[in-house]
Structure 1
């Protein structure tokens, strides 16, 4: 009986998704979408699988969402895949993640979606702690797509929002030292714009919309400086379960707020 009911609702579900897609396509899109991919480990645990399997499911979902972003014409996307805190996880899990990063970086460098849509991939975050093999794979991916003129895809790895701000201030101070400027001169000329120019995402628009999955209602340090005026959407599904209809609902929420405030 349950299976019969489910089969009867599928056409209605499909029709609703198509109608929602048409509605959302007619509205404003985020210039820069931030994605916190949360819930891979909990998803795997619920299925009785290892955390690594959850991360693999998460990778497949990330490719799906990338396709949706391309379909919607979103110009800049930042996905947070590995934080500075993630190095504290069990060594065997971190090791499996490193292997996954190498495999997917090499795959992305040849992926037809990346090449056909001219997606430029940038890796942002601190690179300390990653093996030479991981760094080489990431650098090859960046170099392979450096001249692309389509969507900019930032992959946040070894990333922390506080660390990003610290690194920006350090860079500013080192540049000032090279110019022979003293602390007083640096302080006199210090502005938010000067720090913003030295963030990992310098030269790109700040994210106007951030989505986090898994039901957690917090940013956990994601793009702390850049998200001061962002809209947020916290989906209560785990990342591997994030469906296109969830994505469209999130975009519709963004569009409703944009219209409400006349932006």
Structure 2
């Protein structure tokens, strides 16, 4: 039985590794073959702080830190995760989502079921997005198309048209600043994650932005004294937001950043 358990564990690791490889290859192809592009101006330095899944600490600590600096963020919500209690974090429920909206933060879509889009058919994805729209719209009625973040930062070649028609932008990862010709359906972003020394060092991205303006999007998950591997401490998050302000960057949510840059909605 032990040998079988070890074999199954090893097979699981191989499967997850192949899945990550497939995700990276798909993302490379999408970046190399954009469907549409917009021009991100290089006249101003703009920073957006965004949160995926949205643990309670992102509301209680992350949002509060942004507000203390007169800024707001974008919080990508997956309705199917609402109120979920996990070993190292608890995710916000509808009340928490409502509190974010009331305090002026942007609510974005992160699908309902938080599934890798490559493994969903178009009809299944459409139903999932419609379900999340019903969940979010009941809490925070939208003024236009929402912005979207890919679960696991994984794009899908076959879903690009579907997503571009439904959302104003779609955010992935990519570890880069958005400048000049940019695919709005696959925005680049820099992850704030552990170890905390690495997260604190992300001020270098803000310095690079100040030297050569564009649009820098950060993303993270929890903001806690003992963060998960995908979050950071309140002190580190505070340092990043303060540094962006000190370098003269505009700190805006995704929707507000688009408006400031004059990237208006296109006819579909």
Q: Which structure shows the higher helix fraction?
A: 1
Radius of gyration: which is bigger?
Answer: 1
Class of the TM-score when normalised by the shorter of the 2 chains: 0.3 to 0.5
Normalised to the residue count of structure 1, the TM-score between the two structures is: 0.38
Normalised to the residue count of structure 2, the TM-score between the two structures is: 0.38
